[in-house]
Amino acid sequence: MRKRRNAVIILFLVLLGCKGNADDRSLTLQKYYDEGVPSVEGQWKTKEVSRALEILLKMKKRSFFVLPRKSSERSKLIYEKLISGDNIIDYSNKAEMSQVLLNLLNLYNDDNFSRRPGFYHEEETGMLIYYLKLITKSRNDLPIINRNDSTTQIEMMKIENGFTMVISGSLFYQNDTIHLTQQDRISLSEEIYRSVENEWKTLSDVSKDRLKRELDSAVRLNSDKEVKERYAQFLNRLN
C-alpha cells in the first residue's frame, strides 16, 4: 500500500512539474532558422516578414502549438521581430501587402477555437494591434490619389470593408474577458481607438454606422469597467 501511495505521489509531482512548461511548446531559434525563418539579427523588410509568416503558417499546420510565444525565453525574439515597428514595409506592392496582412491575422488564429481556446491570446492581441498600426501607416504613406477614378474607388472600398471587418472582429475578440488579461484589453482598445479616429473622416456612412453599433455592443458586453468607460467616451465623441 505504501509503495502504491508513493508511486501516485511521484506521478502527481511529475505531472505538476510538466504543467509549468505545458503552455510553452515553442521551438529554439535555431529550429526556426532550420525551417527557413530569417535571422532576427538583421533588419526585416517586407520580404523577410512575408517569408517568416509563410513558413510559420506551414509549421502551424503540422503542429498548432509550436509557434513563437511572446513570453517565451526560447522564441520571443521571433515574435518580437514579427511585430516590430522597425520593420521596413513596402506598401507599393498591393498584392504582397494584402497577403502579409492576411497572414498576420491568420497566424495565431485558432479556427473556431477548435484546439485550445485562448492558447495564443497574448500573441493574437499583439498581432491585431500590429495589423491596425500597419493599416493606419499604409493609408498615411500612400501618395495623393484620384478618388474620382472608378478603379480607385473600388480598391478604396475593399480597403474600407477590410478595415471595418478587422475592427469589428477585434472588438468582438476583446469582449473575451476569460482568456484576455486586462492589459491585453486595454492595449487593444487603445489601438482600436487610434485606428478608428484616424480613418473616421474617410469612411462611408455605412461603415460609420456599423462601427458605432460595434462600439455600442462593446460598451454593453465588455465586463472590464475601464475598457467599457473608454469605449463609452469614444462613442460619445463620434456621435
- Kindly report, residue by residue over 191-230, the tens digit of the pLDDT: 899 889 888 888 889 999 999 998 998 888 887 888 888 8
Cα 24 from Cα 115, distance rounded (Å) = 15
Query: Half-sphere exposure of residue 230, counting CA atoms within 13 Å on the CB side?
Result: 18
Q: What percent of the chain has pLDDT over 90?
A: 30
Pairwise pLDDT comparison (137 vs 85), residue with the higher score: 85
Q: What is the mean pLDDT of residues 144-166?
A: 69
**What pLDDT is recorded for position 161?**
82
**77, pLDDT greater than 90:** yes
Q: Where are the domains of the chain?
A: 22-143, 150-239
Q: What is the mean pLDDT of residues 148-156?
A: 65
Pairwise pLDDT comparison (158 vs 6), residue with the higher score: 158
Helix axes 94-107, 46-62, angle to 10 degrees: 40
**What pLDDT is recorded for position 153?**
66
Burial of 54 (0-12, 13-18, 19+ CB in 10 A): middle
Q: Which residues pair with 88 in a beta bridge?
A: 45
Contacts of 58 (CB under 8 A, 6+ apart): none
Please, what's the largest Cα pairwise distance for the chain? 85
**What pLDDT is recorded for position 18?**
37
**What pLDDT is recorded for position 17?**
35
**What pLDDT is recorded for position 210?**
92
**What pLDDT is recorded for position 173?**
74
pLDDT grade, residue 177 (50/70/90)? low
Contacts of 168 (CB under 8 A, 6+ apart): 210, 211, 214
**What pLDDT is recorded for position 125?**
86
Q: List, as one string, the DSSP characters of 73-135.
A: TTTHHHHHHHT-TT-B---S-HHHHHHHHHHHHHHT--GGG-S-TTTTHHHHHHHHHHHHHHH
**What pLDDT is recorded for position 19?**
38
pTM to 2 decimal places: 0.76
